[in-house]
Structure 1
Amino acid sequence: MAGLERQLTLRFLAEPADVNFGGKVHGGAVMKWIDLAGYACAAGWSGKYCITAYAGGIRFVKPIHVGNIVEVTAKVIYTGRTSMHLGVDVKAGDPKDQDRHLTTHCVLVMVAVDDEGQPTEVPDWKPELPADIELRESAIRLMEMRKKIGAEMQAHVDLQPSLQVP
């Protein structure tokens, strides 16, 4: 049922196929896991198919090693009319003990879509706890920053010389 569970955690072992040339888990593999957890969380919250509209502020804090237990936790931190902002934490550690350390963090924006692929409304999430209120306010501040960054990026694109073949 939509609008009930705002957090989801995926748990699995990092596999040899996830390794990069440096012997650690590849950043692209971590980004895929983030997207999977984000989709599962957003679909669960909205009760709809969801697409990733934005992934930002990705911080790779520590490496993940092959054989580590990996926990990818996605949590709804803000809802708009059709979108959900999710805070995503990736933690990892030796599966033989309970210690998990933060390896990656980011914010995702997922949009719920209908059968025709058009944005559709999502259940509203209203924070009650002080920490959740701060997460929501942070998501709103990040949204405002993304608008400014988007304008700057568009200006950069507009200033590029056209690629015309003589």
Structure 2
Amino acid sequence: MNILMIDLVDETNQLPAEHLEEIEKLLNFAAEKEKIEENSEVSVTFVSNERIHEINREYRDKDAPTDVISFALEELGEGEIELVGAELPRVLGDIIISIPRAEEQAKEYGHSFIRELGFLSVHGFLHLLGYDHMEKVEEEKMFTRQKEILDDYGLTR
């Protein structure tokens, strides 16, 4: 059963359909585990190192490529107001993943490319839900949850 409406975009045109399907199943599994409302929306875009570097610099003031970036759309910016009572789907946000970094990290950690893509997708998804790893306690909570979701799904190292 699909809980999420997921917009998957592979800007690199490198991922096989099976990988995209696996990420979609995994994120729906994670959404079920996190008790997310049905028809919530999320987008996942797979990009080059150059593109994620550009996004990281432009939106996060970090002049370097990274593996995954999340933009939570539920966080209200300055001067924004929350729409209450409208029967709109919950829009969680955007996850952007670097394919070259995922390939490098899969080799570095000694596991499959799909396992690394799955890890980065769940990591980004949990950020959209408010999980973070800036403080030690938050990090432990987030990383434990990531591992539980990936292990329960069967995407282990």
Alignment TM-score, normalising by the size of structure 2 = 0.28
Higher strand share: 1
Larger CA Rg, structure 1 vs 2: 1
Higher helix share: 2
